[in-house]
Amino acid sequence: TSYVPKSWDEAYVYAVIFFEEYGHLNISSCYKTKDGFDLGNWIYLQRKNMDTLSQDKKDKLNAIEITAKR
């Protein structure tokens, strides 16, 4: 089953947890969390739409190095 977060902030928490555990966000766009959230696709979409996001969201994403490539 797939899990769909109820808000952008809830999805962001998944990204933070992954980043804190692994130290990066270089994951496949098809990566899913244990409870079925499509985190890889969400991260892909945030990178793709970075120019259209609010400054607050950009700041949050930059804090977890979403655009960093390793």
DSSP 2-70: -B--SSHHHHHHHHHHHHHHHS-----TT---TT-B-HHHHHHHHHHTGGGS-HHHHHHHHHTTTT---
pLDDT in tens, 4-39: 899 999 999 999 999 999 999 999 999 999 999 999
* Residue 70 clears pLDDT 90, i.e. is over it: no
pLDDT at 69 over 70: no
Q: What is the pLDDT of residues 35-65, one digit of tens each?
A: 999 999 999 999 999 999 999 999 999 999 9
- Whether residue 53 contacts residue 46, with contact meaning beta carbons closer than 8 Å, is answered with yes
Inform me whether the pLDDT recorded for 2 exceeds 70. yes
Residue partners of 69: CB distance under 8 A and separation at least 6: 26
Tokens 């130290």, residue located: 23
